Amino acid sequence: MLERELSMRRGAQFSEEGNDDDESKTRKHISFAVRVTKLMGRIGVLWPLILLFLTLLFVSIAMHSRHLVCVSSYEPYSRMNFFGIGDLESDFETLGVPWCRSKHGRTVEWTSKDLLKGLEEFVPIYESRPIKNNMYGMGFDHSFGLWFITRWLKPDLMIESGAFKGHSTWVLRQGMPDKPIVSLTPRHPEKYLKKGPAYVDGNCTYFAGKDFVDFRSVDWGKVMKKHGITDVNQVLIFFDDHQNELKRLKQALKAGFRHLIFEDNYDTGTGDHYSFRQICDQFYIRGGGHSCFRDSDEARIRAKRKKFWEKAVDIEELCGPEEAWWGVRGEMRDDFNHSNKAISYGEHFKNSRFLESVLDVYWELPPVAGPSLTHQTRYDPGRAHSPIVEDGRYGLFQRLGLTRLEKSVFNGYTQMVYLQISKPGS
């Protein structure tokens, strides 16, 4: 199943548009000279190979000049092999993809075929979105994931914590056109309407602005009663509020909710809140548990991959004081990183055991398509599941209508996750 796939992935993950700052959801134009300089910086030690490549190139120009007409200048596969970067592929497994164990090893009902069918249906819906440039909000991958899961589960009530301009509210509405939504968000989305596109839903109860209440403090019994909901299994909660996910899980558990989606499920060493991905990054999980030894294979691989993927972290970044690698440099972050508390490895381990004791299903949305198709430059595919549309399947990518979308919409993937909490006592 999708849940537990090894990252044997094909293809090139190298984009010319690489850009080192984190604001790159909007691509700035980079002059050719700057690109060349950046490229040179990245490939420093590979100079002898490049010289060899150039020599070969000149020889080939001399010998087959008329064939050159057909050589595309945008040919990452062959260039990668010349530069000797092709062997990055074999490192994928060494890095690996941590995941959370569930109590009975169950997984989701849907298959990759269902996801493909969903994608075909969702692309035109996404094209009609009211907020076209959702910078700092969800991109295509997570919008699809939220819509797909919503439509599959068919909840009678949708609750979201953190709505920003309302894009996620709109996505939930596309998933379930006639069901009520409850939205908890400090700033009412209508405030954004004054400045530009935003979405305010007609069938949504907003706890926003002066009426804002934190998820923890809502009287859920009252809210459910108001909407005539008697079965918690019919409620879907979507968290996009940058809070410690363990804290949110415990609050949801207390209210009895069973179906939860978390937007930003950051990888170890990254992000502004403690995430499930971080919690489940444990030595007994393949791809989990790390060593801060600076001379290790992992350190070498991380250093290399960091040059290609903006969100990849090397050992220096991964490890905090006293070799603390869990969470973010040994910290459990919360509330947009306004709070960060150092925790011991023992506490971190305990958290994962707790999570396992209440989990029926842990399912990370795979990226929609491989990076050679989407040209995304942020997440490291070596730390993500196999994409729904794998690298090299350009025909399928095009058939699904994905070529019509702007490249920047593929730059927001952070391992969105669906959790199903087990029934009490099961």
Ligand X SMILES: *[C@@H]1O[C@H](CO)[C@@H](O)[C@H](O)[C@H]1NC(C)=O
CA atoms of 18 and 24, how far apart (whole Å): 9
| Contact set for ligand X, span 157-196 (CB under 6 A) | 178
| Contact set for ligand X, span 242-281 (CB under 6 A) | 272
Q: What is the DSSP letter of 181?
A: E
Q: Which two tokens stand for residue 204?
A: 């949504």
Q: CB 388 → ligand X: shortest distance, Å?
A: 30
What's CA 349's distance to the chain center, in Å? 23
Q: Which is nearer to ligand X, 188 or 242 (CB)?
A: 242
Beta strand extents in 162-266 (DSSP E only): 181-185, 204-208, 235-239, 259-262
Give the 3-state secondary structure of residue 61. helix
If one asks whether residue 21 binds ligand X (CB under 6 A), the answer comes out as no
Q: CB 96 → ligand X: shortest distance, Å?
A: 24
| Distances 257 to 107, 207, 423 between C-alpha atoms, Å | 18, 19, 9
Q: Which is nearer to ligand X, 337 or 398 (CB)?
A: 337
| Contact set for ligand X, span 56-95 (CB under 6 A) | none
Residue 65 class from Cβ within 10 Å (0-12 exposed, 13-18 middle, 19+ buried)?
exposed
Q: Which two tokens stand for residue 119?
A: 């994608």
If one asks whether residue 357 binds ligand X (CB under 6 A), the answer comes out as no
Q: Which is nearer to ligand X, 162 or 287 (CB)?
A: 162
Alpha helices in 65-153 (DSSP H): 76-83, 88-95, 112-127, 140-153
Q: What residue has token string 């100079």?
A: 47
CA atoms of 405 and 132, how far apart (whole Å): 11
Q: Which is nearer to ligand X, 22 or 406 (CB)?
A: 22
| Contact set for ligand X, span 304-333 (CB under 6 A) | none
Q: CB 243 → ligand X: shortest distance, Å?
A: 15
Bridging pattern class, strands 339-342 and 359-364: unpaired
Q: CB 169 → ligand X: shortest distance, Å?
A: 12
CA dihedral 33, 36, 42, 43 (to 10 degrees): -150
Q: Which is nearer to ligand X, 188 or 311 (CB)?
A: 311
If one asks whether residue 337 binds ligand X (CB under 6 A), the answer comes out as yes
If one asks whether residue 203 binds ligand X (CB under 6 A), the answer comes out as yes
| Contact set for ligand X, span 117-156 (CB under 6 A) | none
Q: Which of 183, 340, 415, 420 binds ligand X (CB under 6 A)?
A: 340
Q: Which is nearer to ligand X, 48 or 202 (CB)?
A: 202
Binding-site size for ligand X (CB under 6 A) equals 6
Residue 109 class from Cβ within 10 Å (0-12 exposed, 13-18 middle, 19+ buried)?
exposed
Q: Which is nearer to ligand X, 337 or 344 (CB)?
A: 337
Q: CB 82 → ligand X: shortest distance, Å?
A: 36
If one asks whether residue 202 binds ligand X (CB under 6 A), the answer comes out as yes
Interface residues toward ligand X, by CB under 6 A: 178, 202-203, 272, 337, 340
